[in-house]
Structure 1
């Protein structure tokens, strides 16, 4: 019998099932195209109304940060960070970020000795006073960290190279820690570091007991050409204050430091003196003071409580790693 149009070739009982299969596939494909998602109401499937679950939100590529000079956009996850002061280096490393470039204090020095195990592979990009902008640009940074004291005057040049976050004066290290942590996406880590710092100081105060209020701490730094007493607003002075230790009357004031001449030798006295030297190979300004008869008359000298400590973390550090080492020294010399 001639085959009619629309019939399958072969036996009719075999053709009919295939027609039903093809019809079912067509319906499934049509529903899938209309629904645009999974069929069913299990976990991850469509809702009862047939709507899809919302897709996870994409992480922003940038975030806004307000620093000492203006509000800017920085990468959400900086990968190539350059730091332009010792405090910024300390803070970045404490937050688990290894910079691709960093300045050194001066041409004769390297990175602070207390960070020697963490700075391998970091390229030098000039000094604090004279950052090498060409070298910085060649590193192709995606974020630069500095502060108003050091580089406010070249901020416009720096931000042409990469987004630049400018902190407050470096002695206000806790504020800068929070700011740079925000820029680096490490806010929780910064909070943990500050909590550890406070907990360590609480332990120190407890161990000192009644001696805490009666131990006046004198801070003296020898520069190549002059000596200084460090006050409450200096880095080391702020830690002494946080520890609850009093200062001698001549040093119990706001400010960072004051120069000391021979007639001010009595202002160096205290129950304990911490002395730290910057650039000692270029000059020791404290030596002439120590030869003066007034020096031997200081109570702290007569009692043998003058302690030389590392300028790297007492003077240059300006970050949480250095702060921890200063507190370690307080335990070592005052509360062993």
Structure 2
């Protein structure tokens, strides 16, 4: 029997078993996380059916952000949501398995997820369906539309109901609410969003005297070189859209690649440096030991900061709040 034939047989068997399980109910003691779907209206196979947020009707049928129909035969309890672990943790949910680079997962979440197994996205490539299926998820959440174009969605939807977002980082507030709805955690989602907004507003007031009218840039080092972090996602979004730093024109108007030759054009009052898992040591040394770097106003004014932690390169309420706390500790002390 070939590997493809074997996988097809396993996937078919899994779907049959899933269907039977949906009809017979689930053994709660075998599930890692128990959740309820929070929705006021659920559509069944016979048509629209009214239901309370505590007791929705199943099967629930909905469309994801890419227009795919998603059928939930019962309340999902085992979630695989690579790159959305931050949102799950913010809602009080543990995934059945967590994303990893192949060497480590998101370290800033390990106080909550240290007992959750990891699955490798080595080289940026998603794991094969067999590896995902071994964890028996009953809902898969994919954080951007690239998974449609790459064919990952077509493979994963054979394992479990799969919901695809266009791009969760483009609208974090919306994606948190959607995940909350899917997992029956809408109240938790609203609470987490409110706590985040309060965290942002408090930090803005504290930091305003230090950053008003000041421009910022974030430089990332890794094994491929040195790059600017743009302002539409991750820590770049936090610094400009949330805290109120002004964007550097060179970062806003150009590409992300940085060279020593272009460094004199960097118009930033505050510069944050991120060495991605210490993979960019050589490039960081080249930059920080160069005469042009040492001559920059931000360097001479003591407004360059090396920041640690993968939360600077992650999206999510928890990551963003950790970035805010780092900035407060560095420039408001």
Q: Which residue does the alignment assign to 2:256?
A: 258
Cα deviation digits, residues 41-92 of structure 1 (max 9, x gap): xxxxxxxxxxxxxxx986313434432322312355311111222xx11111
Q: Which residue does the alignment assign to 1:331?
A: 328
Matches within 5 A, 1:129-208: 129-148=125-144, 151-152=147-148, 153=150, 154-172=152-170, 173-208=172-207
Alpha carbons 2:233, 2:315 under 8 Å: kept: no
Alignment partners' CA distance in 2, 1:282 and 1:78: 40
Cα deviation digits, residues 195-230 of structure 1 (max 9, x gap): 212211211222234443223221111121111111
Q: CA RMSD in A?
A: 2.3
1:296 corresponds to which of 275, 291, 294 = 294
Alpha-carbon offset, residue 293 of structure 1:
1.8
Cα deviation digits, residues 23-56 of structure 1 (max 9, x gap): xxxxxxxxxxxxxxxxxxxxxxxxxxxxxxxxx9
Secondary structure, counterpart of 2:71 in structure 1: strand
Query: What is the number of residues matched between the two proteins?
Result: 274
Alignment partners' CA distance in 1, 2:212 and 2:72: 45
Structure 1 residues 157 and 278: alpha-carbon distance in aligned structure 2, compared to 1, 3 A threshold = same
Matches within 5 A, 1:1-336: 59-70=56-67, 71-74=69-72, 77-85=75-83, 88-104=84-100, 106-107=101-102, 109-127=103-121, 128-148=124-144, 151-152=147-148, 153=150, 154-172=152-170, 173-240=172-239, 241-252=241-252, 258-281=256-279, 284-315=282-313, 317-336=314-333
Post-superposition, which runs of at least 4 consecutive aligned residues in structure 1 deviate over 6 A? none
Structure 1 residues 188 and 131: alpha-carbon distance in aligned structure 2, compared to 1, 3 A threshold = same
Cα deviation digits, residues 123-179 of structure 1 (max 9, x gap): 222215231321211221110112225522210111110111112335323332222
TM-score when normalising by structure 1: 0.74
Q: Which residue does the alignment assign to 2:12?
A: none
Give structure 2 stretches of 5+ with no counterpart: 1-50
TM-score when normalising by structure 2: 0.75
Give structure 1 stretches of 5+ with no counterpart: 1-55
Secondary structure, counterpart of 1:188 in structure 2: helix
Alignment partners' CA distance in 2, 1:166 and 1:283: 36
Alignment partners' CA distance in 1, 2:265 and 2:160: 46
Secondary structure, counterpart of 1:148 in structure 2: coil
Alpha carbons 2:60, 2:71 under 8 Å: kept: yes
Whichever of the two has the greater Rg, that structure is 1
Alpha carbons 1:80, 1:99 under 8 Å: kept: yes
